[in-house]
Chain A
Amino acid sequence: MFKKIRHKTISRIIEDNLDYLVRFAYYRLGNHVEAEDLVYDAVLKFLERDTDNIKPESIRLYLFRIVHNLCQDYSRSNKREFMSIEDYDVEGADDEALDLEDADRINACLDSLPSREADIIRMNVIDGLSFVEISGILSIPQSTAKSRYKSGMEKLRKLFIK
């Protein structure tokens, strides 16, 4: 009975966070199919673990942590190749192209920063993660996360805001 309740809780949390996880992966990979495959792998990895000892409020954090690590692995082994608009000769290509354009716009701004600062700004501003969650995902103190955020934001301000 208790395990059944727990399983329902886990299922609910995963389902509730699926959009956020896909968005998280998409802005790092720039490809819907690969982002979804990666999130699915992350869910499977999570379910393989002994989830009994994970507090319900930590499940979201674990999921983001796994997705973040998989994104990093992916980036190390695959350098993203940019696709031209003409490549999207399939149904939904317009949406796909607009999504990619938006991701490129954001990534172009953040590419001017050191990756450790860009990562934190991306997590906070785009993914909507709190500093508590960011410090958990990156295994760094909150104070470090905040100082990197501040430093990155100051640089962006100098670069883009007159």
Chain B
Amino acid sequence: MEDYKEIKEMLKPRRDIKASEELRNKVDSALERKGRKQAIREWTFGGIGLSAVAAILIFVLIPSGMSATEVLAEAIKALGETEYIEMTVDIRTRPVENFGYIGINEDFVAHNIYIADSDSLLKWRIDKGERVATGNGSDIYVWLPSLKLGMHLSDVDNERVLGYMSTLLTPGKVLETELYNCTSGDGAEYMVNKKGSEIILTVHAAPQGNFENPYLLNTSISESENIRRYVIDADTKRLKSATVSVISRNREITVLDISVINYGRRKDDICRLADGIRYVETENQLVGLTGLSAEESALIVLNAFANWDSSILDKVMPREISDIAYKEKFSGSRLISIGRSFTSGTGRTIFIPYTLELRNGSIHRHNIALQETYSGGWIVTGGL
């Protein structure tokens, strides 16, 4: 898109409008009141369970002569000068799944990550064999080589496409995120320790989201109680390695291990797209099914599989994707039952359990995932 530099300059505010102290105090008081109400609710309804979790979360800060903030600020400074980073990250996941997905019972899948210009806007590439993504700061391409199918997204945060993986795009960002948490205190606990020539930073975080229904618990880093350990070279302040473990049933399970990091000069074009892939443009958003509840929408979508009714399915899934990924499997299927909707975790996704009899007579049970667009339509985002 054109820059319109002169017009932007003309419209640029010359004055810095800021919130007054009075407003800040009023907002603080409102937040405090809300916090107190919440605490009372937790005490009344969740006291016993929550205190058990709190006991696990106790951490001791071992003095090392440096605060977490100081360690991270030093490390960020060092990484800001790096031009090119290659790392290998082993993650418990599935090769074809979304980058944000983890599973404590899955095998490790190697992710090769290539990063250029690690200090600000960056070019990057993540390749886990059956799913590859690349971004250049404004455009992101994700593709599945086996299906010869990809997506092009613009103006989308890396985090939305990659989940926690986005924080690995640059070790600088990992540390920046932790620094932000350190200084603003999001409830995670921190420990800094020095061992020989290494500084070890440990972050212990609770799962983010609502897990009254635990369907999504431990399916992503943020939706799990996790411990993140960073090993930083005390001299260069460069990140040497990192691991993330999930706590499940009082057991610590390593789900992510940055085993190799190499710093060097930029090599080939890391944003190069694979040949022979059909890239679907996602600029035009799906309309979705409007004026219906999530359950009603799910019913209509699942029934539309019988005759593969494109007039319905094209509203809820990009045709290029549904044709290649789902049509063969689901066309001609018969909806046997549909359950009550539920939500889980941090997402605004609504899940609806269903049972289909596929064309070949086999039974398929899953939870269809729907999201409401900003214009109020329901679209399918997974669970097929």
Listed in ascending order, the chain A residues whose CB lies under 8 Å from chain B are 1-12, 14-15, 18-19, 21-23, 26-27, 32, 35-36, 39-40, 43-44, 47, 52-58, 98-99, 102-103, 106, 109-110, 121, 125-126, 130-132, 135-136, 139-143, 146, 149-150, 153, 156-157, 160-161
Contact = CB atoms under 8 A, between A and B. Distances in A.
B98 interface: no
Given A1-B187, A23-B18, A132-B156, 10 more contacts: A1-B57, A2-B50, A5-B208, A12-B185, A15-B28, A18-B23, A44-B30, A130-B155, A139-B374, A157-B7
Interface string B41-61: 110000000100110010000
Given A19-B19, A56-B208, A160-B10, A150 B42 contact: no
Nearest to A57: B159
B187 A139 contact: no
A141 B283 CA distance: 8
B62 interface: no
Chain A to chain B: the 7 pairs with minimum beta-carbon distance, closest first: A5-B187, A23-B17, A18-B19, A102-B15, A22-B19, A139-B374, A11-B31
B307 interface: no
Nearest to A5: B187
A141 B42 contact: no
A143 B283 CA distance: 6
Chain B interface residue count: which class? Answer: 35 or more
A99 B39 contact: no
A131 B284 contact: no
Contact of A121 (B11, B42, B186): B11
A8 B188 CA distance: 10
Nearest to A44: B30
B18 A19 contact: yes
A47 B30 contact: yes
Contacts of B249: none
Interface in B148-168: 154-157, 159-160
Nearest to B347: A55
B72 interface: no
A144 to B, nearest CB: 10
B11 A125 contact: yes
B272 interface: no
A65 B346 CA distance: 20
Interface in B358-378: 374-376
A161 B15 contact: no
Interface string B180-194: 000011111000000
Contacts of A52: 210
Interface in B128-164: 154-157, 159-160
B337 interface: no
A22 B18 contact: yes
Contact of B284 (A5, A11, A143): A143
Contacts of B206: 1-2, 5
A14 B208 contact: no
Interface in B222-254: none
B38 interface: yes
Given A121-B11, A130-B155, A132-B155, A22 B348 contact: no
Contact of A14 (B7, B27, B347): B27
